[in-house]
């Protein structure tokens, strides 16, 4: 019996030694975040949205195997961390890894690892605290446009929706033609020096635009100046944060814009200048294309001078001893002129339309008749012309041509002059040479021809008489 008891005592101490060191203190865990093992005291900065890598190193310091190893970390989305196996050998190591996207803010949590020792019926566990700081650079931009007086006033509102202070936030517009310093941000030219988390600032700009639809496109840039770590533990510089906005606006046309710039056509009236060698009076030019007024008789009236700015007048008069000259007036439109003076006797050699002939009908066959002066055609009336003057014997008063009383006096003087010329007229039986001289005076344009005839005809008669005597 004593021998059996000795064997039992020797076996039990051996069994305790094989399972010794197992329990709560036999399992140890170390956590690193993006390569940093001191993340509990100094959590690394990670840009929000970047990948975070947590590595959990489990060490079994006991002499018994640990089964069903599992890790729970509240700092990991979902909380659960998967391990490659769930058995940890005695005095062995096991690494578990968790990968996820960084969230904003401070993310510190305590992870717990657990395992079972079936041979002893005990639970082995370990804890470790770790985490990171999620850096969120949230820059936003909105704008509002108000229109008035052909100008557009744009208000830009820039806000920091992140968790870090933003520095040197600059506001500009890429669509509107704004010059340097056109954007005012609280007294600074387009720049907000500091923008704390949750704060906002306003910037304004005014631009002059033509009527129509336009678009404003705001652009805000800034930086939180916070370097971060990537998944491998490398340092990443702070990026430039960007925010955009857009708004369409319409500049209305000014009141009365449809008739703006509409010019009123000017109107004017003028009279043709008179031209006469002695006492012939030129015809008055028609206004705005109206009919001209005939010129009155003159001793040797010349051609009338054309009127200016809307009318033209032409007068022609020819007079001899006892013969009344006939004047012809034509307006700018080319309408035929009226008779010289109402009630005056017909002028010899005049053709219908008031155009005088240069040679009377009773001239000898040897003297050719001059062709009547053609009357220009009447052009089409255009907008803005003055209505045509009535075709009367006495011209109506035209601005710049005198009043009606002066015209009546002029008509009376012309009638007296015609009567005096008829009294001084030479009878028809005055002879060939006398008639030829008179016709030469009437048609001054044939003066040279008349003088040649006066010299050549007597010479021809003398030669004929000399020849008859010689025979």
Question: Does position 371 have pLDDT exceeding 60, yes or no?
Answer: no
pTM: 0.49
- What is the distance between the alpha carbons of residues 388 and 381, in angstroms, rounded to a whole number? 10
Q: Give the percent of the chain with pLDDT over 70.
A: 57
Pairing of strands 212-223, 166-173: antiparallel
Is residue 261 one of the residues assigned to a domain?
no
Q: What's residue 468's pLDDT?
A: 79
Question: Does position 254 have pLDDT exceeding 90, yes or no?
Answer: no
Out of 347-351, 366-370, 407-411, the most confident range is 407-411
Longest dimension (CA), the chain: 216
Q: What is the dihedral of CA 341, 346, 351, 353, to 10 degrees?
A: 30
Pairing of strands 45-47, 122-135: parallel
- What is the distance between the alpha carbons of residues 363 and 294, in angstroms, rounded to a whole number? 26
- What is the distance between the alpha carbons of residues 199 and 195, in angstroms, rounded to a whole number? 6
Q: How many helices (H) and strands (E) does the chain have?
A: 4, 22
Question: Does position 274 have pLDDT exceeding 50, yes or no?
Answer: no
Are residues 354 and 303 located together in one domain of the fold?
yes
Task: Round to the nearest angstrom and report the end-to-end CA distance of the chain.
Answer: 216
Out of 15-29, 71-85, 410-424, the most confident range is 71-85
Are residues 380 and 318 located together in one domain of the fold?
yes
For 412, the enclosing helix (H) or strand (E) is: helix 404-423
Q: Which two tokens stand for residue 391?
A: 């075709």
Question: Does position 306 have pLDDT exceeding 50, yes or no?
Answer: no
Are residues 278 and 415 located together in one domain of the fold?
yes
CB 287 within 8 A of CB 309: no
Instruction: Quickly state the pLDDT bin for 80 (edges 50, 70, 90).
Output: confident
- In this structure, of 11-25, 128-142, 198-212, the range with the lowest mean pLDDT score is 11-25
Other C-beta atoms closer than 10 Å to the C-beta of 433 total 12
User: What DSSP assignment string belongs to 435-462?
Assistant: HHHHHHHH-GGGHHHHHHHHHHHHHHHH
Is residue 150 one of the residues assigned to a domain?
yes
Pairing of strands 139-148, 151-160: antiparallel
Q: Give the percent of the chain with pLDDT over 90.
A: 44
Specify the higher pLDDT residue, 359 or 456: 456
Region 414-423: mean pLDDT is: 75
Specify the higher pLDDT residue, 407 or 191: 191
CB 322 within 8 A of CB 418: no
CA angle 404, 405, 407 (to 5 degrees): 65
- Output the CA–CA distances (angstroms, integers) from residue 421 to 149, 323, 324, 416, in the order listed: 78, 6, 7, 9
- In this structure, of 125-129, 280-284, 294-298, 387-391, the range with the lowest mean pLDDT score is 280-284
Instruction: Quickly state the pLDDT bin for 7 (edges 50, 70, 90).
Output: very low
* Nearest by Cα to 332 from 295, 374, 288, 293: 288
Region 334-346: mean pLDDT is: 41
Q: What's residue 202's pLDDT?
A: 97
DSSP E strand boundaries for 191-240: 191-195, 200-208, 212-223, 228-229, 235-236
* 23-71 confidence digits (pLDDT tens): 667 899 999 999 999 999 999 999 999 999 999 999 999 889 999 999 9
Region 332-357: mean pLDDT is: 40
Region 423-447: mean pLDDT is: 63
Is residue 257 one of the residues assigned to a domain?
no
Are residues 151 and 46 located together in one domain of the fold?
no
CB 50 within 8 A of CB 33: no
Residues of the domain holding 460: 432-470
For residue 143, what is the domain's CATH number?
A: 2.60.40.10
Q: What's residue 425's pLDDT?
A: 58
- What is the distance between the alpha carbons of residues 328 and 224, in angstroms, rounded to a whole number? 97
Are residues 283 and 381 located together in one domain of the fold?
yes
Which of 135, 167, 202 lies at the terminal end of a domain, its last residue?
A: 135
Q: What's residue 174's pLDDT?
A: 94
**What's the number of domains the chain is made of?**
4
Region 11-28: mean pLDDT is: 54
Specify the higher pLDDT residue, 337 or 221: 221
Q: What's residue 426's pLDDT?
A: 53
- What is the distance between the alpha carbons of residues 145 and 157, in angstroms, rounded to a whole number? 12
- For 45, the 3-state DSSP assignment is strand
Is residue 264 one of the residues assigned to a domain?
no
Q: What's residue 440's pLDDT?
A: 62
- What is the distance between the alpha carbons of residues 54 and 38, in angstroms, rounded to a whole number? 12
Region 358-382: mean pLDDT is: 45
Question: Does position 131 have pLDDT exceeding 60, yes or no?
Answer: yes
Question: Does position 251 have pLDDT exceeding 80, yes or no?
Answer: yes
Is residue 198 one of the residues assigned to a domain?
yes
Question: Does position 270 have pLDDT exceeding 50, yes or no?
Answer: no
* Nearest by Cα to 275 from 317, 296, 294, 303: 303
Instruction: Quickly state the pLDDT bin for 4 (edges 50, 70, 90).
Output: very low
Strand order in the sheet with 139-148: 139-148, 151-160, 200-208, 184-185, 188-189
Region 352-377: mean pLDDT is: 44
Average pLDDT, whole number, for the chain? 71
Are residues 153 and 286 located together in one domain of the fold?
no
Q: What's residue 395's pLDDT?
A: 40
Question: Does position 379 have pLDDT exceeding 50, yes or no?
Answer: no
Are residues 73 and 180 located together in one domain of the fold?
no
* 148-175 confidence digits (pLDDT tens): 988 999 999 999 999 999 999 999 999 9
Cβ-Cβ contacts under 8 Å for 387 (sequence gap 6 or more): 287, 288, 290
Region 338-357: mean pLDDT is: 41
- In this structure, of 107-116, 236-245, 264-273, the range with the lowest mean pLDDT score is 264-273
Which of 102, 135, 168 lies at the terminal end of a domain, its last residue?
A: 135
Region 327-356: mean pLDDT is: 39
Specify the higher pLDDT residue, 392 or 87: 87
- For 420, the 3-state DSSP assignment is helix
Are residues 240 and 387 located together in one domain of the fold?
no
Is residue 158 one of the residues assigned to a domain?
yes
Is residue 1 one of the residues assigned to a domain?
no
291 DSSP assignment: -
Which of 135, 163, 194 lies at the terminal end of a domain, its last residue?
A: 135
Q: What's residue 204's pLDDT?
A: 96
Are residues 49 and 97 located together in one domain of the fold?
yes
């Amino acid at each position: 019996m004593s021998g059996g008891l000795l064997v039992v005592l020797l076996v039990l101490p051996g069994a305790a030694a094989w399972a010794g060191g197992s329990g709560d203190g036999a399992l140890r865990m170390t956590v690193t975040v993006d390569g940093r093992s001191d993340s509990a005291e100094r959590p690394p900065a990670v840009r929000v949205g970047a990948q975070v890598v947590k590595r959990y190193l489990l060490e079994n310091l006991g002499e018994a195997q640990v089964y069903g190893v599992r890790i729970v970390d509240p700092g990991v989305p979902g909380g659960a961390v998967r391990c490659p196996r769930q058995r940890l050998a005695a005095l062995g190591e096991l690494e578990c890894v968790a990968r996820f996207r960084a969230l904003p803010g401070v993310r510190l949590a305590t992870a717990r690892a657990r395992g079972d020792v079936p041979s002893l019926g005990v639970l082995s566990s370990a804890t470790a605290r770790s985490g990171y700081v999620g850096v969120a650079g949230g820059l936003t931009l909105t704008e509002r446009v108000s229109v008035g007086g052909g100008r557009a006033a744009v208000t830009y509102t820039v806000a920091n929706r992140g968790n870090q202070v933003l520095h040197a936030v600059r506001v500009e517009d890429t669509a509107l033609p704004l010059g340097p310093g056109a954007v005012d941000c609280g007294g600074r030219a387009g720049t907000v020096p500091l923008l704390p988390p949750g704060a906002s600032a306003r910037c304004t700009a005014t631009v002059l635009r033509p009527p129509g639809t336009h678009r404003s496109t705001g652009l805000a840039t800034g930086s939180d100046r916070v370097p971060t770590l990537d998944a491998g533990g490398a340092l990443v510089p702070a990026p430039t944060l960007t925010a955009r906005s857009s708004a369409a606006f319409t500049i209305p046309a000014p009141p009365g814009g449809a008739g703006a710039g509409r010019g009123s056509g000017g109107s004017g009236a003028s009279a043709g200048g008179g031209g006469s060698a002695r006492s012939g009076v030129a015809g008055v030019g028609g206004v705005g294309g109206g009919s001209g007024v005939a010129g009155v008789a003159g001793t040797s009236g010349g051609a009338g001078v054309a009127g200016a700015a809307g009318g033209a007048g032409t007068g022609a008069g020819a007079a001899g001893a006892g013969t009344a000259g006939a004047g012809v007036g034509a307006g700018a439109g080319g309408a035929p002129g009226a008779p010289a003076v109402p009630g005056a006797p017909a002028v010899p050699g005049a053709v219908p339309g008031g155009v005088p002939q240069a040679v009377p009908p009773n001239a000898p066959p040897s003297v050719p008749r001059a062709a009547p002066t053609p009357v220009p055609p009447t052009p089409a009336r255009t907008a803005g012309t003055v209505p045509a003057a009535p075709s009367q014997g006495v011209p109506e008063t035209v601005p710049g041509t005198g009043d009606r009383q002066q015209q009546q006096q002029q008509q009376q003087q012309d009638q007296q002059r015609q009567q005096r010329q008829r009294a001084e007229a030479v009878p028809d039986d005055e002879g060939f040479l006398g008639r030829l001289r008179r016709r030469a005076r009437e048609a001054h344009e044939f003066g040279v021809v008349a003088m040649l005839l006066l010299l050549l005809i007597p010479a021809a008669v003398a030669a004929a008489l000399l020849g008859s005597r010689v025979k």
